[in-house]
Amino acid sequence: MVKHVKGTRLSTVYGPLPSWYLGSYLGIDPMMPPRRCYFNCIYCPYDEGEHRGRAINAEVIREDLIRHIKDLNVKFVLIDGIGEPSFNEELADIVEAIERVKAEMGLRLSIALRSCAPHLLLKRLGSALRLVDLVIVKVDAVTDHVVSLINDPPSLDYIRGQVDTLKAIKEHAKLAIKTMLLRTHEVPLNTDPIELRKLLELLVNVSPDLVILDTPLWSAQVNALDRGLLEEIGDILADHLGWDRVRVRGVHEEVEEVIWNAEGIEDRLINILLRVPLSREAIRRIGGDIALETFNRLLLRSIVKEIGNGYFVLKN
């Protein structure tokens, strides 16, 4: 795996990166590549998982975090990376280790965690859920048929108790639901009027602290929604939840720039592109000209590949 980048230190910690719904963050990958995920999304930017790779233990993450966090002005650490965090059996220990680093270093950081398997997440975190400031759960569709088409999970059983699971998370942590809206030329997927109505009903019923409406700009497999349509859907939700609890891709833009220093910029870029698809424009915006020049060298060495619409990830 990642044979093209011999000599690069792959780290469990990547970033910092800006986010249009979180603010600046440092990513933490508790699984490491290759992708091992509960879902197999139609728009996934990573090659299909091979059901191997290694789950990372809390001590490795603690050491990587201490090494990276110095002098960084980020608001969040986001447990995310490539794959499903709750597949790591030490997830509770990892959250506790991050909390200890915060205390030892006097950091005012929030902990966010992204998951597409909230039923597993609840079991895995136990009481450590209280230490997570924001749990971001992916919900793209509601009916069995459309969930299968978009997310292709191994079992649809979890959908039956999904609302209760989401509400249970909300009792202990702030909850965000992130929804990727999309369609193809032939199939409306979650923009089908009936599916969309059911999805909005679920969002209003769960009433999370935040709804994040996104669309997969990088995908060559599906069509992203334009800003106008996303905003219309955001409007409908905001009528029920208020605009302060709704974020919409393209409407809420990144406000913070993250400028990297030149030191270790190639390793930084490689570790990010392993987990986050980026466009040239984004690379320049968050890393300056030096990041773009570094990226162009990676492209010439065939270390990165375009996945669609001018977005790039690391080759594996």
Minimal distance in Å, beta carbon 43 to ligand SF4? 6
Size of the site for ligand SF4 (CB under 6 A): 10
Given the complex with ligand SF4, which of 15 and 81 has the nearer CB atom?
Answer: 81
**Alpha-carbon gap, residue 163 to 314, rounded angstroms:** 36
**Which residues, other chains included, contact 276 with Cβ-Cβ below 8 Å and sequence gap of 6+?**
14, 17, 27, 313
Q: Is 138 in the site for ligand SF4 (CB under 6 A)?
A: yes
Minimal distance in Å, beta carbon 180 to ligand SF4? 8
- Interface with ligand SF4 (CB under 6 A), residue from 34, 35, 189, 291: 35
Structure tokens at 98: 């991050």
Q: Is 40 in the site for ligand SF4 (CB under 6 A)?
A: yes
On whether the CB atoms of residues 61 and 94 are closer than 8 A, the answer is: yes
Q: What are phi and psi of 115, to 5 degrees?
A: -145, 150
Q: Is 44 in the site for ligand SF4 (CB under 6 A)?
A: yes
Q: Choose the stretch contacting ligand SF4; rule: CB under 6 A; options: 15-23, 40-48, 55-63, 67-75.
A: 40-48
Given the complex with ligand SF4, which of 25 and 46 has the nearer CB atom?
Answer: 46
Residue 177 DSSP SS3? strand
Give the sheet arrangement for strand 13-17, strand by strand.
Answer: 13-17, 25-28, 76-79, 110-115, 134-138, 174-180, 210-214, 246-248
Any bridge partners for residue 113, and if so which? 79, 135
Given the complex with ligand SF4, which of 44 and 241 has the nearer CB atom?
Answer: 44
Q: Choose the stretch contacting ligand SF4; rule: CB under 6 A; options: 21-29, 32-40, 102-110, 308-316.
A: 32-40
The mark string for 172-211 relative to ligand SF4 (x by CB under 6 A, - otherwise) is ----------------------------------------
Given the complex with ligand SF4, which of 102 and 275 has the nearer CB atom?
Answer: 275
Minimal distance in Å, beta carbon 237 to ligand SF4? 22
Q: How far is CA 203 from the centre of its chain?
A: 19
Given the complex with ligand SF4, which of 149 and 265 has the nearer CB atom?
Answer: 149
> What are the CA-CA distances from residue 49 to residues 44, 257, 269, 309, 314 (Å)?
11, 32, 22, 23, 15
Q: Report which DSSP code applies to 235.
A: H
Positions 217 through 276 that interact with ligand SF4 (CB under 6 A): none
Mutual orientation of helices 118-125 and 162-170 as an angle, nearest 10°? 40
Q: Is 39 in the site for ligand SF4 (CB under 6 A)?
A: yes
Closest C-alpha among 168, 74, 279, 123 to residue 28: 74
Given the complex with ligand SF4, which of 25 and 39 has the nearer CB atom?
Answer: 39
Given the complex with ligand SF4, which of 41 and 203 has the nearer CB atom?
Answer: 41
**Alpha-carbon gap, residue 274 to 47, rounded angstroms:** 11
Interface residues with ligand SF4 (CB under 6 A) are: 35, 37, 39-41, 44, 46, 83, 116, 138
